[in-house]
Chain A
Amino acid sequence: MDQHHEKLTQVFRNVFKNDSIEITRTTTAADIDQWDSITHLDLITATEEAFHIEITGFDVMGLKNVGDLLDLIQRKLED
């Protein structure tokens, strides 16, 4: 999971064009400027590409924070 966390941090930094972004399991949209509906789609697409997984709209609706996204990545990789 630590490996996923590190890789996802890089995804966030690329999408938000900010190399100082740090994420934790409790990070939400309220913690990161510009994390709106538009960048959320970019983030999901970039996550899919980085981890070679497919994320559906229903998966996205189950995400409340970064921890949920990390758990989703883990589940998808185990499928």
Chain B
Amino acid sequence: MITVRKAEKTDCHFLARIILLAESTGFEITSYTGMFGKTTEELVPSFEKMIDNDTDGHPLTYKSYLIACVDGIPASAISVYKEGEFGDSNHLMTGALMTGFDRKSVALAFGFLKNHGDITIQKTPGTLQIDCVATMPEYRGKGLLKELMKAAEQRGKELNTGEIQIQVWKKNEGAVAAYEKAGYKIVKEMMSAVDEGNGKILMIKNI
């Protein structure tokens, strides 16, 4: 049986894996592994500690996640938050990263991001943001993301956001097609100077 629920503190290990899995599609120009120069396995403990914080409104806290469970076992998750509700999400993420890594590592990681500043798409204040979407490999093909997206749209209606925004890598054609099928439209593209044919795409849906 599939159920969807809000994440709790006890889900931090699972969510750390989800965040890093969401950035392992193979189409990423920037990723946490690239930013910190570490493997996923090396990053999991730091991420588990980092997302165990109660400041909602960004993807680096367990508070923003919805989890889909299969027979009670966490299998898939997405981060859902209203941009700006608890402060600028990028600033909150900076704070979260400072709790998980030393200042020098965060500065180096941001240096890596700065080199790819051409693909940055600003999040619009007041919109619902969907981020860090992933399903554990053994649970794929069961319609879990569809259930999570439905729950996310419901959350958007409760928060009266009017618009949902998702940022996707352009080369991740499977994800782009899936979101288009769910009613999302491409409204912006920021192409990379270093990865030809790739970049960030902004997709939106009005609810």
Q: Closest 3 A-B residue pairs measured CB to CB?
A: A60-B95, A57-B98, A57-B99
Q: Please count how many residues in chain B sit with their CB below 8 Å of the partner chain's CB atoms.
A: 25
Q: Give chain A's interface secondary structure class.
A: helix
Interface residues on A, range: 20 to 34
Binding site for B on A (CB under 8 A): 28-30, 35-38, 40-41, 44-45, 56-65
How many A-B pairs fall under 8 Å by CB? 67
Cβ-defined contact, B87 with A57, below 8 A: no
Select one of B55, B106, B114 contacting A61, CB under 8 A: B55
Q: A28 to chain B: which residues have CB within 8 Å?
A: 84, 87-88
Complex Cα–Cα for A43 and B113 (A): 17
B53 contacts chain A at the CB level, 8 A cutoff:
yes
Q: B92 to chain A: which residues have CB within 8 Å?
A: 60-61
In the assembled complex, how far is the CB of residue B79 from the closest CB belonging to chain A, in whole angstroms? 15
* Given contacts A41-B107, A41-B110, A60 and B84 within 8 Å (CB-CB): no
* Given contacts A30-B125, A58-B53, A40 and B99 within 8 Å (CB-CB): no
Within 8 A of A (CB), among B65-95: 84, 86-88, 90-95
Cβ-defined contact, B107 with A37, below 8 A: no
Complex Cα–Cα for A58 and B96 (A): 7
Cβ-defined contact, A29 with B110, below 8 A: no
* Given contacts A30-B125, A56-B98, A56-B99, A63 and B84 within 8 Å (CB-CB): no
